[in-house]
Amino acid sequence: MTQRIGVLALQGGVAEHLALIESAGSQAIRVRRPADLDGLDGIVLPGGESSTIDRLLRMFDLAEPLRVAIADGLPTLGTCAGMIVLATEIVDPAPGQQTLGLLDITVQRNAFGAQVESEDATVETVDGPVRAAFIRAPVVTRIGDDVEVIARHRERIVGVRHGSITAIAFHPELAGDPLLHHHLIHARP
């Protein structure tokens, strides 16, 4: 049966994830309202502006249903802003910025500096090398006890996994690398 993989589609780099999911033979669903969460086999929280996505999640009453779905085991891949949205703590939040608090990590936004420091890179992950872009990327500065580090870049933690949640600071979808999407799609047998 074809897997149905959602992409949170409030703001940010949504189209690239939809394209990768469809090219892997799965059905890609734009998630913009709570009802869109029904019947998903996985979800991507894309990159974008994390403070904007946070405000829109609450504005459209999507934060709580999304939190419940992921907490109930919906396989999840968060990229960049998506990693920030999943974290329990942000070092330097925008004023009033909240998170879903599902992944026991502390993240630092824009940890590599301004856009001129953004990098095109191949990242070694536990699943294999991933070609990706770091765009004003965050890093993980603290991990909870059971959180696995799956990738580092410049000696800093840029990928973590805990249970059904994978979060990365970089953008394989911009480079068209489907490795981590395949992991998400096949998370449920």
For the chain, the 3-state helix, strand and coil shares in percent, each to the nearest 5, are 30, 35, 40
94 binds other proteins (CB under 8 A): yes
Shortest separation between residue 170's beta carbon and other proteins, angstroms = 10
Task: Tell me the number of residues near other proteins by CB under 8 A.
Answer: 58
Six-digit token string for 7: 């992409």
How far apart CA 126 and CA 28 sit, in angstroms, is: 25
- Does 153 contact other proteins by CB under 8 A? yes
Q: With contact defined as beta carbons under 8 Å apart, do 183 and 159 qualify?
A: no
124 part of the active site: no
Of residues 53-82, those binding other proteins (CB under 8 A): 55-56, 59-60, 80-81
Beta bridge partners of 44: 7, 77
Lookup: tokens for 31: 């998630």
100/82 Cα distance (integer angstroms): 10
Task: Determine the interface stretch with other proteins among 6-14, 18-26, 63-71, 160-168 (rule: CB under 8 A).
Answer: 6-14
CB nearer to other proteins: give 24 or 91. 91
Instruction: State CA 55 to chain mean position distance.
Output: 17
Task: Mark whether 173 is an active-site residue.
Answer: yes
Does position 14 bind other proteins by CB under 8 A? yes
**CA–CA separation, 148 and 96 (whole Å):** 29
Query: Which residues bind to other proteins, rule: CB under 8 A?
Result: 9-16, 32, 47-49, 51-52, 55-56, 59-60, 80-81, 92-96, 109-110, 113-124, 129, 133-136, 141-145, 149, 152-155, 157, 171, 174-175
Catalytic residue annotation: 80, 171, 173
